[in-house]
Structure 1
Amino acid sequence: MPAAAALLAAGALHNLYSQAPEIAWQEIGKIKPRHARNIPSSNLWIGGETLDRDYANYEQYKAWLGPLGAKKLRLQSGWAKTERAKGVYDFAWLDAIVNDALSQGVQPWIQISYGNLLYNGAGSVDLGGGIPHGEEGLAAWENYVRALVPHFKGRVREWEVWNESDLGDNIKRPDVYAELFYRTGLIIREIDPQATIVALSMARMDVNYVTAFMDYLQGRGAVSLIDVVTFHGYPTIPEGNFDKVEIIQNLIWKHNRKIRFWQGETGCPSTEGSSGALGGHPWTELTQAKWNLRRALSHLGRGIPFSLFLLCEFSYTKHPAYVNRNPLNTKGLLEINEKTLAVERGKPAYYAYQNLCAMFDGNAVPQKEFEHSARTSGHGEKLVVHAFRHKTNDRHAVVVWFGGEIPSNANHCRIATLHFPKLNITHPAYIDIRTGSIYRIPDSSIKRRGMETTISVPVYDSPCVITDEAFFETLRF
């Protein structure tokens, strides 16, 4: 992080810590951030979308990428930005981003989009518009893909075909996207057999749409082109939508059980009136930070890789549909100057996600069937619990928060008592992920008989972790 950014960070951190919950235990340290270069692997990623349409400027925010600790960066390939004259492909703008991300220890994965107005039937140049179709449009698309994939071979391993193909009128024609995916997948497999091909990028998770898409590929013997399916979603309650995910998973796994699922795009604004999803709720920077953590851990706890939308705010100033609407999308972890796109500061959500990335790397293995019971001091509260086991030392980390409602703009704690028949913790610690504060759990709050453990902890609507000091290498005392 540059010196100027560090000065801006100080104010944001002061704001973050001043909004800490009232936990009366002894604080023994803070989580130490980890640069992406120092994290071997992780299922926590970050979005770098909209650079293809110049709604944000990578040069303005790249210094914040590596220090965040996310291990992958989702990019959009920008066909229209790359091919401005027929048959002439200029990848210089995307080369600069990919090379810089790699130098920071962050692996780019590229979503191939959008269309190109140079050709008839080559799709639209923005979200929710037409998908390439017809002889001329598909031929031009195929030529572009044949130029794109070998150009980045060895630097990019994962290719996602289109973005939110089920938006707008496209929902009525799943065959159009299926044909695009089929043609694209064949080209990618031919050029780079080891590449990961990512399908659907669903906004709606519509059963009929997905069924038609899978049947189309099944009919061509091409289901094996799919390695990963991505889904999106912006529920006001961050634990939401997993019932839909399970339905889609079961539908797709009937065709091929080996297909994996990623969360490709989801995030929360920091203000009311933000452009895009969730803009109608009175969000604050505090509730954004809480929502992001709860959303991320709801995926990690289920073993689903997670990409947060997104690192930097962006503005639809150049989009004609936003002439009389607020063009600023405040889902970014970094606040920008809307006119210059320069980064003003990191929001509390940046530092909260930075803490999460530092803590939950590839060593944190989700324990989906972790036996426990719980009771709380209130009534009707939904206590969310996700457990993880450290891959090398077998210590446990149990994440808890009150969920089932939209994050509040207050930090009131209530006591929850959790019982674990088998909890591998020797030196108990309690960590508020949002603030990074580490507490020693007093002996009076713990009852143990061997690995059978009962612990009473203060809980609020942002994730905290019951763990062992040995679980996280990043504890700073």
Structure 2
Amino acid sequence: MKNITSLLVVLLFFAMNNISVRGQSLKISASPNRVYTAIDIPFDRIATIKPKSTSETTSKYWTIGCETVDRDYTIYDEYKEYLSPLGFRKARFQAGWAKTEKQKGIYNFDWIDKIVDDMASRNMELWMELSYGNPIYPGGGGYDLGAGLPVSEEALKAWDKWVETMVTRYKGKIHEWEIWNEPDLRSVKHEITDDEPEHRAKADANSPEGLAMFNLRTAKIIKRIDPEAKIAGLAIVRLEKLEYIEKYLQVFKENNSLDLLEWISFHGYPYNPDDMYTKLGVEDNLKKARELVASYSPNLKLRQGESGCPSEYPVKHHALRNYNWTELTQAKWFLRRMMGDMGNDIPDASVFCIMDMTYLYKAGTPEQYKFYNRFGLLRADSVKQVEKIKQSYYAVQNVISAFDQPLVRVKDAKCKVKAANEITSYVYKNKENGKKVIVMWDGTQIPADSYKTQKATVSIENSGFTDPVWIDLLSGRVYKISSSSWKRVGNSETFEVPVYDSPVLITDRNTILTQEYKKCQD
């Protein structure tokens, strides 16, 4: 009897903490209360955002990150069932030269074939990143993050052959490519202490000019095989490094090859996601980078290729380390980054990433050890299976559903938001029915681990609102704005509503797909 009681206690603990039994998928909640919130709103709750799967969504404002399978830091089969319910129609993926070619000239594409086909079955497109190097070739480049590029003649020829084989194999299935990942992360030059030609080649490879030549040779192969392919170059981690970007672009210009590139991709991991658009050491760095890129080609666009946030403190390496992150602050961070990218007209912006990663620090050395990079919407256990669905998963799911409509930003909208802190806000209009959506949040600080709100006065002209609601994107909860908090004078309307450091919406109720909520569901 005692053993049975103990077993029941253990099972109850697992159920209450949303923890899976190993090898079993967790059930994705569709409950109107699927995201916990302690927010206090002075309006009546009437509905909840209804999630949309990839079989229902049509918009492609964002991309979900499905990286690191190439190095076995994540396992695709462990998280694939969680992709469709999120609603993303596009995923960023890493091709893994070293995983595919473990013996010279012999390719094993089985692992990636299955993923490409599975993604297609889920109504998802792939943005495929070509990386990293391959240690079976002398001078073949590094195998992991911050790695040096291939430099030897043998390795470069092998790279060319692998790229050609990849693009030929997946022509018609993959239409978007990216070349390498974060080449500026760690300067290889710092490791050079002599003038040996091989060492100097390694130093030059990760220079902007060396990277440009490597990207150029790769882009030419892609376009020769698939002229309709779209290519992202650079994949820089520090957007404020304008000199690096310019030297890179200059090489393409001198070779009359700027038309090979569709995007210049960049990453970014500021502690305050809103700093990405105005700070990071350079005032208005996004604006300056955009102007620089446009000065070389008006058709070349910036694309945010990787950006995310951990969900807990013990992340001691990589971006945003050594900070007291929580599931709540991670969820807020993702929402603010998604809304910030959209508000700054950055297409196909990435949400990094679907699943926590199990990294090897100082891989291949006697000091190597395993650590968990908790950037995922899903929490991984020690064997890389899904242990928990995080708060951020459902919050991001809410955004994908709410913004699954043909929206355009109203750049000249006459809308003002006044509160104790400066409030970031954008106005969108549905191109088909003219319905408007106001999104706003307090972006002055790093997301806080609290639900504290402040009062805001929102004024807008020609909104067209007839049944306005206030929506918390974090929880997906929809509240009817009371008549005492909504005033109309002529073509101008004023709302007295709460705001906080996570995005909220004002829009008409029928603008967004919702499911009715009743108090008895609490």
Matched, 1:392 2:432: yes
Matched, 1:336 2:380: yes
Q: Tell me if structure 1 keeps the 8 A contact 2:427–2:437.
A: yes
SS of residue paired to 2:432: coil
Matched, 1:356 2:399: yes
Q: Which of 383-392 and 290-299 deviates more?
A: 383-392
Cross-structure match for 2:220: 186
What are the superposed Cα offsets for residues 309-348 of structure 1, whole Å, 9 maximum, x if unpaired?
A: 100001114834795666100010001112x111012100
Q: CA separation in 2, counterparts of 1:257 and 1:448? A: 42
Q: Tell me if structure 1 keeps the 8 A contact 2:163–2:218.
A: yes
What displacement does 1:473 show?
3.2
| Equivalent AA in structure 1 for residue 254 of structure 2 | G
Cross-structure match for 1:249: 290
| Equivalent AA in structure 2 for residue 272 of structure 1 | Y
Matched, 1:215 2:247: no
What displacement does 1:476 show?
4.3
What are the superposed Cα offsets for residues 157-207 of structure 1, whole Å, 9 maximum, x if unpaired?
A: 000000012121258611211111100111111111111011111101211
Q: CA separation in 2, counterparts of 1:152 and 1:313? A: 28
Cross-structure match for 2:142: 124
Number of residue pairs matched?
Answer: 470
What are the superposed Cα offsets for residues 282-312 of structure 1, whole Å, 9 maximum, x if unpaired?
A: 0000100001100110001122121111000
Q: Percent of pairs identical after alignment?
A: 37
What displacement does 1:273 show?
2.3
Cross-structure match for 1:196: 230
Q: CA separation in 1, counterparts of 2:235 and 2:494? A: 42
What are the superposed Cα offsets for residues 69-111 of structure 1, whole Å, 9 maximum, x if unpaired?
A: 1111100000000011111111111111111111111111100
- Root-mean-square deviation (CA), in Å? 2.1
Counterparts of residues 223-242 of structure 1 (less than 5 Å): 223-242=258-277
Q: Which runs of 4+ in 1 moved over 6 A?
A: none
Q: Tell me if structure 1 keeps the 8 A contact 2:64–2:351.
A: yes
What are the superposed Cα offsets for residues 222-256 of structure 1, whole Å, 9 maximum, x if unpaired?
A: 11111111111000111112222221111111010
| Equivalent AA in structure 2 for residue 176 of structure 1 | G
Q: Tell me if structure 1 keeps the 8 A contact 2:293–2:301.
A: no
SS of residue paired to 1:316: strand
Q: CA separation in 2, counterparts of 1:375 and 1:322? A: 57
Q: CA separation in 1, counterparts of 2:110 and 2:450? A: 46
Say if 1:10 and 1:454 are closer, same or farther in 2 by CA, change over 3 A. closer
Q: Which of 366-375 and 180-189 deviates more?
A: 366-375
Counterparts of residues 303-382 of structure 1 (less than 5 Å): 303-305=345-347, 306-317=349-360, 319-320=363-364, 323=367, 327-338=371-382, 340-376=383-419, 378=420, 381-382=421-422
| Equivalent AA in structure 2 for residue 313 of structure 1 | D
Say if 1:235 and 1:336 are closer, same or farther in 2 by CA, change over 3 A. same
Cross-structure match for 1:54: 72
Specify the structure having the higher radius of gyration (Cα). 2
| Equivalent AA in structure 2 for residue 303 of structure 1 | D
Say if 1:320 and 1:22 are closer, same or farther in 2 by CA, change over 3 A. farther
Cross-structure match for 1:280: 322
TM-score, length-normalised on structure 1? Answer: 0.94
Q: CA separation in 2, counterparts of 1:163 and 1:309? A: 14
TM-score, length-normalised on structure 2? Answer: 0.86
Cross-structure match for 1:159: 177
What displacement does 1:362 show?
4.7
What displacement does 1:369 show?
3.1
What displacement does 1:384 show?
1.0
Match 1:301 to one of 316, 340, 343: 343
Q: Tell me if structure 1 keeps the 8 A contact 2:57–2:89.
A: yes
| Equivalent AA in structure 2 for residue 352 of structure 1 | A
SS of residue paired to 1:230: strand
Matched, 1:269 2:304: no
Counterparts of residues 128-143 of structure 1 (less than 5 Å): 128-143=146-161
| Equivalent AA in structure 2 for residue 328 of structure 1 | Y
What displacement does 1:367 show?
2.3
Match 1:433 to one of 466, 473, 483: 473
Q: CA separation in 2, counterparts of 1:424 and 1:163? A: 45
Match 1:402 to one of 437, 442, 447: 442
Q: CA separation in 2, counterparts of 1:48 and 1:6? A: 19
